[in-house]
Structure 1
Amino acid sequence: MKGEERRAFLLKSLQEAHGPLTGSDLASMSGVSRQVIVQDIALLRGQGVDITATRSGYALPSSFDGGEVRLVKVRHAPEQAEEEMLAVVNLGGALLDVAVNHRAYGKLTATLDVRSRRDVARFMEDIRSGKSSPLCAVTSGYHFHHIAAYGPDASCVLDEIEKVLGEKGFLAEMLPYEVGQI
């Protein structure tokens, strides 16, 4: 497969995916190395294609569509991050991102795409190993998540997630100036 043909194949594969595809998966599907995929993704981005790199692989924004998304504000200690994330995924939700509203730096957002217990375990391993530190560490534990649920009962799932986060003491009140800022 030549370069242009392969990039067209990658784009089509990402468009048809129902979530992120890893570089290794794309390499295997294309018959090239993962490094070639990284270069192809860079070229596609250079052409204006909005490809997101997540912990779970590469995705187009449309691969997150089809569900209901809600913004929640939470606060907890760093050692409670795993409990918070498991509360969301155990009820069938996904944590799409994390954002903080820092007084000096403004809004900082990072893509998470945490959809399963396995994703939570990987994220927590990165934190525990020192590879990363939680973004909420710079805002006394306050942070925001766009959480998503899929299927006909998505709204009920999100309601239940908010209820459980509240019961655990994680849910924080959204301040008037924060609405529409995150």
Structure 2
Amino acid sequence: MMTGSKRRDAIINQIKGSTVPVSGRALAKEYEVSRQVIVQDIALIRASGYDIISTNRGYVLHTPHVAYRIFKVHHTDEELEQELCSIVDLGGSVVNVIVNHRVYGHLEAELNINSRRKVMEFLEDIKNGKSSPLKNITSNYHYHRVEAENEETLDMIEEMLRRKGYLVHMEGPFESI
């Protein structure tokens, strides 16, 4: 059975990915919970900072224009928490992790880390899954799509990554590692 936290993450992703409003009834059916549970989930999602709008046809996510950049970074497992916390502390959201493996090609995993709480949940999931971060298959080289409210925030994040020695110069988009 899916936990409430995982269900809310799935609901956010479903609403984000939909081009039409998503009805509460459809969400309740999909996640096998009552409509009231969905209403409570939407309230919690809103409280966490998402601008979910209720329409007569369902829920939609109001998304103001978001700036983003792809950063190529390199760091150890021990520096992973510091890298992610530094990005979210400056107002960034780590949308994904991408690696370009010479044999397997382009591999991407969704992260959607936008707070220290989400950083801790991610690290706990890695630890409890007895797994290692995707970056480990490419000698710690990887990319992140980072979103923020504006270019100035992305400039601050880029400067921080450079200062901490995590940022790697990119020759072109997603060159092989």
The C-alpha deviation readout for 1:102-142, integer Å capped at 9, x for no partner, is 00000000111001111101001112223442000000000
- Structure 2 residue runs without a partner (length 5+): 1-10, 19-23, 35-60
* Cα displacement (A) at 1:34: 2.7
The match for 2:42 is none
Aligned match for 1:162, one of 158, 164, 169:
158
Task: Give % identity.
Answer: 39
**2: CA distance, partners of 1:131 / 1:119:** 18
* Cα displacement (A) at 1:35: 3.7
SS, match of residue 69 in structure 2: strand
- The alpha-carbon distance between structure 1 residues 133 and 158, as it changes in their structure 2 partners (threshold 3 A), is same
Structure 1 segments of 4 or more deviating over 3 A? 29-33, 62-65
The match for 1:44 is none
**2: CA distance, partners of 1:108 / 1:63:** 29
**2: CA distance, partners of 1:96 / 1:30:** 23
Aligned match for 1:34, one of 31, 34, 42:
31
The match for 1:125 is 124
- The alpha-carbon distance between structure 1 residues 155 and 110, as it changes in their structure 2 partners (threshold 3 A), is same
The match for 2:170 is 174
State the aligned residue count. 134
- The alpha-carbon distance between structure 1 residues 33 and 107, as it changes in their structure 2 partners (threshold 3 A), is closer
* Cα displacement (A) at 1:161: 0.3
The match for 1:7 is none
**1: CA distance, partners of 2:117 / 2:63:** 18
Residue correspondence of structure 1 range 1-182 to structure 2 within 5 A: 14=15, 34-35=31-32, 66-150=65-149, 154-176=150-172, 178=174
Q: CA RMSD in A?
A: 3.2
- The alpha-carbon distance between structure 1 residues 82 and 36, as it changes in their structure 2 partners (threshold 3 A), is same
- Structure 1 residue runs without a partner (length 5+): 1-9, 18-25, 38-61
- The alpha-carbon distance between structure 1 residues 172 and 31, as it changes in their structure 2 partners (threshold 3 A), is closer
Q: TM-score, normalised by structure 2?
A: 0.65
**2: CA distance, partners of 1:125 / 1:172:** 27
**2: CA distance, partners of 1:87 / 1:171:** 13
The C-alpha deviation readout for 1:45-65, integer Å capped at 9, x for no partner, is xxxxxxxxxxxxxxxxx7766
**2: CA distance, partners of 1:33 / 1:176:** 41
- The alpha-carbon distance between structure 1 residues 63 and 119, as it changes in their structure 2 partners (threshold 3 A), is farther
Q: TM-score, normalised by structure 1?
A: 0.63
**2: CA distance, partners of 1:169 / 1:97:** 20
Amino acid across the alignment from 2:164: K
Amino acid across the alignment from 1:129: N
SS, match of residue 128 in structure 1: helix
SS, match of residue 178 in structure 1: coil
